[in-house]
Structure 1
Amino acid sequence: MSEDADADPAEDPEPAVNISGGADGGGVAATFDPETADTRAEEVVDRLGELYWRKTYGGQDAFTCLVRTILSQNTSDVASQPAHDALLARYDGDGIDLAESLAAADRTELAETISAAGLYNQKSEVLIETAEWALEAFGSAAAFDAFVKGEDPGAVRETLLEVRGVGPKTADCVLLFSGGRGGVFPVDTHVHRIYRRTGIAPPDADHEAVRGVLERDVPTEKCGFGHTATIQFGREYCKARKPACLEDPEACPMADLCDQVGVYPETNEVVDPAEALEASE
């Protein structure tokens, strides 16, 4: 769920605990076979299925998931996870409604609590406003959870996008990690970069356009895994400034599927795919 660009996988590894809810959390288990993929996007996801751990999605408390995703915006998991843990330690607990607790929080105190995360002053304001919204609209965090898990995904997404500080990726992460909704492929910086670099999405596509391509071309049951695995692939192989193929074309497990849009091994240059498009026109 993070927005880091080139985190070292040794410093920001795949979590040891399945935070998505695990096998009992909901979702549909998928099988991965690149040989039978119907689209190039599905073939990439199936290759990722051979590289990384597979999991099902859903099971997280929806409001807690929303808080976690807001904290992760524009920062790495290494920074946002301690902030999340500190927030829950101070504002959550048995018999405590997290939305009520955050709505009543002192902003300065909350900002200090989440100071490990970037933009903590801004995020503290957003978190308090989000908690106030959840209480006004639903009455409690539990009622918000029921809404996310029980209502039509399109209606849930539309409702979340009306909240300040909640963008498409945040809304989609709540649908995926809390609701366990199939066919949801959140687009963060890694996903946005990689599927344009491979040529699967247009080089000038925005985040929403990339999401549209992926949710069209990747089977419903594989979208959630595709999101998390693509992030890990971006950390380890297809980095923003130093993709593995730059030094060794054979180093990347997607080499035969990638158009290398914006990557120029002959000159050791890497640009955003949109810049590569502009240069070719």
Structure 2
Amino acid sequence: MAEEPDRNISGGASGGGTPASFEPGDEASRAEAIVDELGDLYWQKEYGGRDGFECLVRTILSQNTSDVASQPAHDDLVNRYGPPEELAETLTDADRDDLAETISAAGLYNRKSKVIQEAARWALEEFGSTAAFDAFVAESDPDEVRETLLSVSGVGPKTADCVLLFAGGRGGVFPVDTHVHRIARRMGIAPPDADHEAVREAIEAAVPAEKCGFGHTAMIQFGRDYCTARKPACLDGPKACPLYDRCDRVGIDEVDGGVRDPADAVEG
């Protein structure tokens, strides 16, 4: 079985931007303290610098799948329809069946090919070129960019936030995927019944803007390495998880080994 890459598809060493530094300690919130420890465990990086439209496509490909599947699909798409600065123009005229076949490794390829092609047509209708779309993402008001991206069919909050972070380099953006949603509620830094948007709002309110980028990617990696959905490391004892003392372990029964969704644990 293939293993997950050692970096998040939208971040890591090729995530754009430059290495970041911060001074851990004197945290204003427990959420910030957790992000600092995650920063020590994994990479610390400022984000931005990716081509906006390519980042949008990359994030659509990553929806509901792992990096193992979406990375080769992205590579195949760029190899066939790139370069990035012309991607929207090329995809607009692409044969839909050929596009679906090209990205088949990512799963849900018929739906994703439709979303990607419609997003390409939308970007050209609204902005005239891939370059103009990229400039909009990088230079316009973040709230306006987010609202505009959310108006595109098939683009949800996590996708919009990833574009803001990895292409726009916007501080204070903490995209919430399934890992972040699970971990934040399990640790107790977001309400146990919070939906993805409520988790995002809770973390962004508690974590300094400059720490949100690497906090997002590091929390994803922590979810893969330690805080998995079905068998979190804490079930092997306090020493098995580096953030054990920071965590409320909502939904975790360390005695019988049971794991429940935090919302279910509170309701029950």
Residue 30 of structure 1: aligned partner: 21
Contact 1:103/1:128 (<8 A) preserved: yes
Residue 197 of structure 2: aligned partner: 208
Residue 13 of structure 2: aligned partner: 18
Contact 2:12/2:217 (<8 A) preserved: no
Within the alignment, does 1:62 sit opposite 2:57 as a pair?
A: no
Residue 171 of structure 2: aligned partner: 182
Identical columns (%): 66
Contact 2:183/2:223 (<8 A) preserved: yes
**Aligned CA distance change for structure 1 residues 132 and 175 (closer, same or farther; 3 Å):** same
More helix by share: 2
RMSD value over aligned CA atoms? 1.7
The Cα offsets for residues 115-153 of structure 1, whole Å up to 9 and x where unpaired, read as 100100110011110001001100111000000011000
Can you give the 5+ residue segments of structure 2 that lack an aligned partner in the other structure? none
Contact 1:30/1:222 (<8 A) preserved: no
Cα deviation, residue 32, structure 1: 4.2
Residue 29 of structure 2: aligned partner: 39
Residue 4 of structure 1: aligned partner: none
Amino acid at match of 1:139: G
Cα distance in structure 2, aligned partners of 1:133 and 1:93: 19
Aligned-partner SS, 2:60: helix
Counting matched residue pairs gives 266
Cα distance in structure 1, aligned partners of 2:97 and 2:5: 29
Amino acid at match of 1:274: A
Contact 1:161/1:171 (<8 A) preserved: yes
Amino acid at match of 1:23: T
Cα distance in structure 1, aligned partners of 2:5 and 2:264: 29
Single out whichever of 131-140 and 48-57 deviates more from structure 2.
Answer: 48-57
Residue 218 of structure 1: aligned partner: 207
So what's the TM-score if we normalise by structure 1? Answer: 0.91
**Aligned CA distance change for structure 1 residues 11 and 220 (closer, same or farther; 3 Å):** closer
Contact 2:149/2:160 (<8 A) preserved: yes
Within a 5 Å distance, the mapping from 1:188-203 to structure 2 comes to 188-203=177-192
Within the alignment, does 1:87 sit opposite 2:81 as a pair?
A: no
Aligned-partner SS, 2:248: coil
So what's the TM-score if we normalise by structure 2? Answer: 0.96
Aligned-partner SS, 1:116: helix
Amino acid at match of 1:149: A
